Amino acid sequence: MLKKLNKIVLLCCLLTGGQLFAQQTNIDRIVAVVGDHPILWSELEAQRISAAANGVDLGPNAIGLILDQLLYEKMLVHHAEVDSVEVSDGQVDAELESRIRYFISQVGSKEKLEEFYGKKVEEIKYEFRDMIRTKLLSQAMERKITQNVNITPSEVVKFFNTIPVDSLPFINSTVEFAHLVIAPGITDEAKATAKRKLQRIREEVTRDPKDRQTWCYEAASNSDDPGSSANCGEYDFVTRGTFVPQFDAVAFRLKDGEISEIFETAYGFHIMKLIQRRGEEYKCAHILVKPKVSQYQLRQASQRLDSLYSKLVSNELDWKSAVENFSTDKETKFNSGKFANPYTGETIFDVRDLEPQLFITLDALKIGEYSRPMQFETQDGLLGFRIVKLLRRTNPHRANLHDDYQMIQLAAKNDKERRTVENWMKSKIPVTYIWIAEDLRQHTFEYNWLKTAH
């Protein structure tokens, strides 16, 4: 019984990323309908078990709260179909793969997940494909309802003023900064050198494709992939979509034991040996050779940035012009070099999210000051140099409009979107077929579902 309960909890998480769904484990029944979309008792139970397993106490109205949420989702899906809102098969596949990979990482391996559930991964995907599509469709409908929601500065101020002072969050120290980057590009000569090196390696390993010792030696000695070189270049079974498309394409063209020709990805040049393929998964080994930036190029980049630094600190050159005219970072050169947090999309960083070198550099600067040129690794893994300018810094504090406007603006917009969805729901409930089982109508709901429940 305990194993069955754990299985329900795990698979509900698969669908909702923390909330679980389940198979029917007892006699099931329809407890509600929205449009032509039924809600089963097993869905309610799965959500209740999930909450309990995650330590969430929903109180005496647990079933009412869960049913309210499921009715809300079914309402969105019903009207998404009415309004011809769609999600593609590719979106569903990508979401399924992401959820499966996450839970494989949680249980330890694909085999353990299959053992735990009693089915192959492909069967699990097939079984929950419709549920994933439903979830994505409801989210797409929410986006359609709120797509025209904008927020004005006066609305931000009004929203902030409604928050009791004691309820304002405590904000860690934050910084906003910009950078000017000089990173040498990869030359055709460097690419040719990398390919020649890899061609020599390929000639060695294809003398006897079954000679694992030679392959392992070349991978350990020459591969530029730190994640696999020490393991003979091998990756255990991965699902299509785990790596870049070019990598997958080669893997699904090869036969077991075959070694590929040289191919290129954004990471450099590869050769691959397919060890085994089964369905949408494959086990392979690869050797990566990255084109190298020469020491001469690095010296030139460093000297160029030193010159720009001197002109900046002597006011011969202003920051905006320097970034637009000389920075090699295409993402920031037309934004005065402002660097965005890749996790939030905002230019404000919690200092705890900064890499150690950058934290130390910014911590030593005053607002408006430039750092001396320093070497760093670009997002595509190449060496370069940059100057960092500190734009603003806040000390730990209670949230306020002056220091935390971006955060408060986002919260205000989310609140306005929530109210927009609520108004949409209130307008649609009276004109949508809704049925709720008699024995569940005594529960308290956020929305007035019973107004039209037959």
The structural domains of the chain, ordered by start, are 2-148+430-451 (1.10.4030.10), 173-184+294-395 (3.10.50.40), 188-289 (3.10.50)
Answer whether 333's CB lies under 8 Å from 324's CB: yes
Q: What is the pLDDT of residues 267-310, one digit of tens each?
A: 899 999 999 998 888 999 999 999 988 888 899 999 999 999 99
Q: What is the pLDDT of residues 151-180, one digit of tens each?
A: 999 999 999 999 999 999 898 899 999 999
Residue 249 pLDDT grade (very low, low, confident, very high; cuts 50, 70, 90): very high
Q: With the CA atoms of 38, 443, 421 and 162 taken in that order, what torsion angle do they form, in degrees rounded to the nearest 10? A: -160
Number of Cα atoms under 13 Å in the Cβ half of residue 31: 20
Residue 121 pLDDT grade (very low, low, confident, very high; cuts 50, 70, 90): confident
Number of Cα atoms under 13 Å in the Cβ half of residue 244: 10
Q: Is 210 left (phi over 0), alpha (psi -120 to 50) or beta?
A: alpha
Q: What is the mean pLDDT of the chain?
A: 87
Q: Give the C-alpha separation, 92 to 102, whole Å.
A: 15
CA 62, chain centre distance (Å): 31
Q: What is the pLDDT of residues 358-410, one digit of tens each?
A: 999 999 999 999 999 999 888 767 789 999 999 999 999 999 999 889 889 99
Q: Give the C-alpha separation, 120 to 429, whole Å.
A: 41
Q: Is 119 exposed, middle or buried (0-12, 13-18, 19+ CB in 10 A)?
A: middle
Q: What is the mean pLDDT of residues 122-127?
A: 82
Q: What is the mean pLDDT of residues 89-97?
A: 82
Residue 37: both structure tokens together: 């979309």
pTM, full prediction: 0.60
Provide the pairing of β-strand 281-289 with 30-34: unpaired
Q: What is the mean pLDDT of residues 183-209?
A: 92
Residue 168: other Cβ atoms inside 10 A: 15
| Residue 443: closest CA among 41, 39, 67 | 67
